[in-house]
């Protein structure tokens, strides 16, 4: 019978997502003939020999299906994941757990994701080998993770009914789809067909095709067919017929390979949101471009990752439900092509823990008001137990429109939480912000922590943010203070951007608050700018320019011409000289004649047809501009230049003006002069334009203008004030720059015949009007002033008011005075714009002018500090009631003001508190101060808010010279490390309780230094007028004397004049009773055998009486065990003491000691506590020398230890080094004791004991009572 043999590569998928994105022809096809079938052992048979027979003897074989076989790895085929398969004897492999169809291998087999490397399309299965019955279908797994291979082999199968001996062997190799986080193996998801000996014998007519496809008619997305004649693949079905015998195109080593495409890109930034006890929303960014789907894998409680779900291509979020409460989950996201997964991105994993079952999660589902029940998944307004999440799944904007509560709060990425101005939200637990929180004027109170995640923003606005836990600003997160208040009780951690703007930072914790700043911060401060403004160019009554006379036409060809009369003022003097300036515009000057006639009737012809005569005519040029003078070098008659005017310059007239008897010489010039210009020929026109007659007499030269026109009127200084006008006159001064007003002054000068009737007002651009002066004349009313003129500077700080002024001189009011109404009403306004000064004359009959006016405005202007590594606060409120605020890794800038109420500010690593120019601070107090370096920049006087050891101890400086100067200070409440006895003679003694470090760290300004004092802190101040400022210069205490005392804002003494060198400062004394506490310079306690040896050194014992030695075996409950009296002579020198507590170490391992110093008035104080431990075998902990009692009377006992037997010299000497007693003898190794006797008659005072050997030199001070 006829048999059709077909070779297929089919797929059919039940996809769990929407429209199919995969395409069969995305598999890369190639072939070669160099492959071999897999041999060897390890196979598992899934259809055995003899199972495929012609059971019914009808010429057709059964087509049985195998059992379902589990694949120990994942296979992604045409974009779907498989972990099992089964086969039938018709050459078909079907992925999945549904048995393979047992019919023929046609294109319209439904529900099959299948491969067919050599299928029988007629619906009959391959026969087992007829002779040997060895035909079988078998499989095995080769390779290792992640490159394992499933090999399914059809071995010794008879593919023709009519062939008893010829058979065929072929196999499918299905490669593991690797899930890796590095490079995806090239073979991942690949499918190979390998062919061995392919025999098809008998009477059958053979033909076939090979392909990949979906059910139904093959489509371009579903089907791939291989033409085995030319070994090409296409989406069009191919049929070929082959003769009996070997199918040469498939025979002996032919391999067809189908390689799925690599994923171009990855899925990144996987993150979890909207977490509840049983659900979660995952979001990610799809950076892949050719995926056919998205795949999630999941791990539970740290276990292995397993497949979770597949999603359509381009998906970027999914809601996962059915989770267990309080369980750890981890998710990974991949893109998948037809057969390959993308590599796992570094950000493609997210770890999370579901909430406990008791958590009441409430999500926003729309943008709306907080109080709108439709906003929330619970259709109820959140309550105090609600864990509120804003922005699930989409970003939402929720408006806090009333006072609200929540247990916890989460603002998701892209979501916004807005506050109405007067409303508040209280969160009992933590708040996490991934979006934006705008407080506006509202209040957000968080009783837990506030975590501002990466990319999130909190804007305090003019509201209040209260965080009772810790604040953490993550990298790329932003906190903007705006103008609001940030109250923090926990730690401040900033890895992002903190911009305080003009907000207030209040630390009000009850314990230590740490500042850890590794992000950026910007600052905003203020600077004071003073400028003057005027518009004095407008304070002028303008004049008018001269207007030339109208040119006078000269009649053409008229001998009479045109005449003008010039009137010369009367004089008794006679003419000594005459000149004439003359300007004539005329088209042919050669026919002109000019005559001048004096009041006496003398006529002189000055110009008469000048120039070369040509055919009876003179100069043919145009215009004349001449000065006619007898003193000129050349005659006007000879002139005729080429330019215009053709006659131009100074020339002698035709007839003399003032030479000879026929001239004007000697005549009286008074009266009318006449100048006549005549045109003596035709065909030319012109006019007399201007000129001047200049007559000289004994008194000088007087000029009279020719055709004068209107003369110029000069400008008049000042702006005229209308008489008896309430409206008066206004003068505008424009201020072009912005600034907030801090103070205003104004000066004005007015010339007026009666200033008593003037009113002056000043109006700001904001419309505020203040009267500077208001004086009404008449009736003898108060305020009249009959004086003239005023020149006033109006200044609120002046000593006297302008209303009480009226001097006798001119100007009658002259100086600086308070205005009638204060200028302080302008403070806080914006200065930019037009300021208007209005002056009114309130009575008639007087005249005057505003002569000048100036405004002097001081403003505060914003200064910005660009983002940098330091941390900025605009206002700092210290209200930590429990411990301290400590900056761990950054300098802190206070750009406006620091207020110290409670708590101490401290720093690690010498970081500083910095106040820039114009920043201020309240005074340090014991309860609150900066126990750290404090720097002040600028030209402001400043009191450094420093302190130490529970004391606030400000130190002040006067204003430096420049804004770039800065000084740095700190305070130390302990004995100065410098010798108090090395001092200038003018210093009686140096205080030993405290000192300040004040350094000029930039600039060259000298300043007055003020040291604060306190009777307790400074160890009995005594007579305050005896205090002085002293400074250590490296070798000696220098006296900066007593410049005066201040009582506020703290009690202090300032230096006499400025200080030009800086170093440690402390209080000095002029008298005995100033700053004279007993000061412990040292106190030590060590064991010696079973004894405790106590040594101490003091200074400042003027009021000291005696010491009481106290001991405790527990560190508390001290009891007195002995006394040591003060030396007879009390002074401010150093004194050394010792005391031995005998045998105390026999029954005790350790003991504690302290000294109680008692003054003559009964007051007392304690030393530090010292511990002695007899169980420690440490030579450094052992006393090696002691002298007692100290002070002594008649006997002084020495105890000491030597390492080896040796000779030693022991000497008692006075303080000048003179020997009093010497003992030389050999001492044995170990402890030794020696008594110095017969010392009763030794004079009272201080002495030295010296022990000297080859290995030891010890000197000790003792005191004789």
**Each residue's pLDDT tens digit, 313-328:** 999 999 899 999 999 9
Quick one: pLDDT at residue 241?
56
**Lowest-pLDDT range of 113-127, 943-957, 1244-1258:** 113-127
- In sequence order, what are the residues at sequence separation of 6 or more whose Cβ sits closer than 8 angstroms to the Cβ of residue 147? 175, 176, 178, 185, 187, 188
Half-sphere exposure of 448 (CA within 13 A, CB side): 13
Quick one: pLDDT at residue 1174?
84
Quick one: pLDDT at residue 1188?
82
Distance set, CA 308 to CA 284, 298, 320, 322, 333 (Å): 16, 6, 10, 12, 10
CA 755, chain centre distance (Å): 57
Q: What is the DSSP letter of 917?
A: T
Higher-pLDDT residue of 15 and 891 is 891
- In sequence order, what are the residues at sequence separation of 6 or more whose Cβ sits closer than 8 angstroms to the Cβ of residue 56? none
**Lowest-pLDDT range of 134-148, 189-203, 211-225, 273-287:** 211-225
Model confidence pLDDT, tens digit, residues 500-535: 999 999 999 999 999 999 999 999 988 888 999 999
Question: Helix (H, G, I), strand (E, B), or coil: what is residue 825?
Answer: helix
Establish whether the linkage from the previous residue to 146 is cis, with ω within 30° of 0: yes
Confidence of residue 610 (pLDDT cuts 50, 70, 90): confident
Quick one: pLDDT at residue 252?
84
State the Cα–Cα distance between residues 463 and 501, nearest whole angstrom. Answer: 13
- Given a cut of 50, whether residue 206 has pLDDT beyond it is no
Question: Helix (H, G, I), strand (E, B), or coil: what is residue 486?
Answer: strand
What does pLDDT average to over the chain? 87
Question: Helix (H, G, I), strand (E, B), or coil: what is residue 1109?
Answer: strand
DSSP 759-787: EEEEE-TTS-EEEEEE---STT-TT----
Interstrand relation of 1009-1012 and 1052-1054 (parallel, antiparallel or unpaired)? antiparallel
Quick one: pLDDT at residue 63?
65
- Given a cut of 50, whether residue 851 has pLDDT beyond it is yes
- Given a cut of 50, whether residue 800 has pLDDT beyond it is yes
Interstrand relation of 951-952 and 947-948 (parallel, antiparallel or unpaired)? antiparallel
Confidence of residue 675 (pLDDT cuts 50, 70, 90): very high
- Residue 982 CB neighbour total at 10 angstroms: 12
CA 209, chain centre distance (Å): 72
- In sequence order, what are the residues at sequence separation of 6 or more whose Cβ sits closer than 8 angstroms to the Cβ of residue 573? 668, 669, 697, 698, 699
State the Cα–Cα distance between residues 169 and 185, nearest whole angstrom. Answer: 29
Answer whether 343's CB lies under 8 Å from 287's CB: no
Please name every residue paired with 1261 in a beta bridge, in sequence order, or none if there are none. 1248
- Given a cut of 90, whether residue 1143 has pLDDT beyond it is no
> 439-469: buried (b, 16+ CB within 10 Å) or exposed (e) per residue?
bbebbbbbbbbbbbbebbbbbbbebbbbbbb
| Confidence (pTM) | 0.58
Owner of token pair 């009313």: 781
Confidence of residue 994 (pLDDT cuts 50, 70, 90): very high
- Given a cut of 60, whether residue 772 has pLDDT beyond it is yes
State the Cα–Cα distance between residues 117 and 137, nearest whole angstrom. Answer: 13
Nearest residue to 952 (alpha-carbon basis) of 903, 990, 1008, 915 = 903
Interstrand relation of 306-312 and 317-320 (parallel, antiparallel or unpaired)? unpaired
Question: Helix (H, G, I), strand (E, B), or coil: what is residue 316?
Answer: coil
Confidence of residue 160 (pLDDT cuts 50, 70, 90): low
Interstrand relation of 966-972 and 933-937 (parallel, antiparallel or unpaired)? antiparallel
Query: Which two three-digit tokens encode residue 193?
Result: 């067909």
Confidence of residue 224 (pLDDT cuts 50, 70, 90): low
Answer whether 893's CB lies under 8 Å from 914's CB: yes
């Amino acid at each position: 019978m006829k048999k059709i043999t077909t070779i297929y590569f089919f797929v059919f998928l039940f996809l769990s997502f929407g429209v199919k994105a995969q395409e069969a022809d995305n598999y890369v096809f190639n072939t070669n003939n160099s492959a071999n079938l897999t041999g060897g052992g390890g196979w598992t048979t899934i259809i055995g020999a003899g199972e495929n027979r012609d059971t019914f003897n009808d010429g057709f074989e059964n087509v049985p299906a195998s059992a379902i076989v589990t694949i120990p790895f994942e296979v992604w085929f045409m974009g779907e994941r498989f972990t099992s398969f089964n086969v039938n004897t018709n050459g078909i492999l079907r992925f999945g757990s549904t048995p393979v169809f047992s019919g023929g291998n046609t294109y319209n087999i439904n529900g099959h994701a299948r491969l067919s490397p050599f299928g029988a399309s007629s619906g009959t299965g391959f026969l087992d080998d007829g002779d040997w019955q060895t035909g079988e279908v078998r499989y095995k797994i080769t390779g290792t993770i992640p490159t394992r291979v499933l090999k399914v082999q059809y071995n010794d199968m008879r593919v023709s009914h009519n062939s008893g001996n010829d058979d065929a062997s072929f196999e499918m190799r299905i490669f593991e789809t690797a899930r890796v986080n590095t490079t995806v193996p090239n073979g991942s998801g690949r499918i190979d067909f390998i062919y061995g000996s392919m025999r098809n014998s008998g009477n059958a007519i053979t033909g076939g095709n090979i392909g990949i496809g979906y059910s139904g008619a093959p489509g371009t997305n579903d089907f791939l067919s291989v033409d085995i004649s030319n070994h090409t693949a296409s989406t069009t079905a191919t049929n070929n017929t082959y003769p009996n015998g070997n199918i040469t195109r498939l025979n002996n080593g032919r391999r067809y390979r189908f390689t799925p495409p690599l994923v171009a890109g990855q899925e990144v930034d996987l993150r979890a949101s909207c977490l509840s006890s049983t659900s979660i929303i995952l979001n990610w960014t799809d950076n892949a471009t050719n995926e056919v789907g998205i795949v999630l894998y999941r791990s539970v409680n740290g276990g292995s990752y397993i497949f979770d779900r597949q999603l359509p291509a381009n998906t970027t979020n999914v809601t996962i439900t059915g989770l267990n409460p309080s369980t750890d989950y981890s998710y990974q996201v991949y893109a998948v092509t037809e057969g390959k997964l993308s590599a796992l991105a570094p950000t493609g994993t997210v770890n999370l823990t579901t909430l406990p079952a008791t958590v009441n999660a409430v999500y926003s589902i729309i943008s709306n008001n907080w109080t709108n029940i439709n906003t929330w998944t619970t259709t109820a307004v959140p309550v105090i137990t609600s864990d509120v999440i804003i922005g699930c799944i989409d970003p939402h904007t929720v408006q806090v429109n009333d006072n609200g509560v929540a247990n916890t709060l989460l603002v998701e990425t892209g979501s916004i939480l807005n506050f109405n101005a007067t409303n508040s939200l209280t969160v009992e637990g933590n708040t996490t912000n991934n979006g934006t929180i705008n407080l506006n004027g509202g209040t957000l109170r968080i009783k837990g922590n506030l975590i501002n995640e990466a990319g999130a923003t909190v804007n305090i606005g003019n509201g209040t943010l209260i965080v009772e836990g810790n604040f953490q600003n993550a990298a790329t997160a932003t906190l903007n203070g705006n103008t609001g208040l940030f109250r923090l009780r926990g730690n401040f951690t900033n890895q992002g951007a903190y911009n305080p703007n003009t907000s207030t930072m209040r630390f009000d914790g009850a314990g230590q608050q740490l500042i850890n700043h590794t992000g950026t911060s910007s600052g905003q401060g203020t600077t004071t700018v003073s400028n003057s403004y005027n518009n004095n160019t407008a304070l002028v009554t303008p004049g008018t320019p001269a207007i030339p006379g109208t040119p006078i036409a000269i009649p053409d060809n008229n001998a009479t011409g045109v005449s003008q009369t010039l009137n010369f003022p009367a004089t008794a003097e006679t003419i000594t000289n005459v000149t004439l300036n003359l300007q004539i515009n005329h088209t042919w000057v050669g026919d002109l004649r000019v005559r001048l006639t004096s009041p006496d009737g003398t006529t002189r012809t000055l110009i008469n047809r000048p120039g070369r005569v040509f055919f009876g005519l003179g100069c043919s040029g145009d215009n004349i501009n001449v000065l006619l003078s007898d003193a000129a070098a050349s005659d006007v008659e000879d002139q005729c230049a080429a330019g215009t005017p053709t006659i131009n310059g100074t020339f002698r007239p035709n007839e003399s003006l003032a030479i000879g008897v026929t001239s004007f010489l000697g005549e009286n010039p008074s009266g009318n002069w006449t100048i006549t210009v005549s045109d003596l020929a035709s065909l030319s026109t012109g006019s007399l334009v201007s000129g001047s007659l200049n007559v000289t007499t004994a008194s000088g030269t007087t000029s009279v203008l020719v055709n004068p026109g209107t003369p110029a009127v000069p400008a008049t200084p000042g702006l005229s004030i209308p008489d008896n006008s309430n409206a008066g006159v206004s003068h505008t001064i424009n201020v072009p720059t912005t600034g907030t007003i801090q103070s205003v002054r104004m000066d004005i000068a007015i010339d007026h015949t009666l200033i008593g009737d003037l009113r002056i007002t000043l109006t700001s651009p904001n419309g505020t009007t203040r009267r500077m002066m208001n004086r009404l004349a008449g009736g003898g009313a108060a305020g009249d002033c009959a004086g003239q003129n005023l020149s006033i500077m109006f200044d609120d700080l002046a000593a006297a008011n302008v209303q009480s002024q009226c001097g006798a001189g001119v100007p009658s009011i002259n100086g600086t005075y308070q205005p009638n109404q204060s200028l302080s009403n302008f403070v806080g306004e914006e200065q930019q714009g037009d300021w208007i000064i209005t002056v009114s004359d309130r009575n008639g009959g007087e005249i005057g002018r505003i002569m000048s006016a100036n405004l002097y405005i001081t403003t505060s202007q914003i200064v910005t500090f660009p983002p940098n590594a330091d941390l900025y606060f605009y206002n700092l409120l210290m209200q930590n009631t429990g411990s301290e605020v400590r900056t761990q890794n950054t300098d802190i800038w206070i750009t406006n003001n620091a207020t110290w109420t409670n708590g101490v500010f401290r720093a690690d690593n010498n970081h500083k508190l910095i106040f820039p120019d114009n920043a201020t601070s309240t005074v340090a107090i014991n309860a609150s101060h900066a126990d750290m370096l404090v720097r002040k920049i600028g030209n402001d006087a400043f009191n450094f808010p420093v302190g130490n050891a529970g004391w606030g101890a400000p130190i002040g400086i006067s204003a430096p010279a420049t804004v770039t100067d800065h000084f740095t200070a700190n305070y130390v409440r302990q004995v100065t490390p410098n010798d108090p006895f090395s001092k200038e003679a003018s210093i009686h003694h140096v205080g030993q309780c405290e000192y300040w470090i004040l350094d000029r760290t930039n600039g060259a300004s000298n300043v007055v230094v003020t040291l604060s004092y306190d009777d307790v802190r400074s160890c009995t101040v005594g007579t305050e007028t005896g205090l002085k400022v002293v400074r250590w210069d490296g070798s000696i205490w220098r006296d900066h004397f007593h410049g005066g005392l201040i009582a506020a804002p703290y009690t202090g003494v300032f230096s006499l004049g400025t200080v030009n060198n800086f170093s440690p400062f402390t209080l000095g004394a002029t008298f005995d009773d100033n700053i004279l506490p007993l000061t412990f310079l040292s106190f030590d306690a060590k064991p010696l055998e079973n004894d405790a040896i106590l040594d101490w050194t003091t200074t400042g014992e003027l009021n000291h009486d005696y010491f009481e030695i106290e001991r405790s075996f527990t560190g508390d409950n001290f009891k007195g065990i002995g006394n040591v009296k003060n030396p007879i002579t009390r002074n401010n020198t150093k004194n050394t003491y010792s005391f031995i507590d005998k045998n105390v170490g026999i029954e005790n391992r350790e003991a504690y000691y302290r000294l109680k110093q008692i003054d003559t008035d009964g007051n007392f104080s304690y030393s530090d506590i010292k511990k002695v431990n007899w169980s420690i075998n440490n030579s450094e902990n052992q006393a090696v020398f002691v002298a007692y009692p100290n002070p002594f009377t008649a006997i002084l006992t020495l105890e000491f230890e030597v390492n080896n037997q040796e000779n030693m010299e022991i000497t008692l000497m006075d303080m000048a080094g003179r020997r009093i007693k010497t003992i030389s003898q050999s001492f044995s190794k170990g402890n030794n004791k020696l008594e110095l006797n017969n010392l009763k008659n030794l004079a009272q005072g201080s002495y030295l004991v010296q022990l000297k050997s080859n290995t030891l030199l010890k000197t000790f001070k003792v005191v004789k009572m």
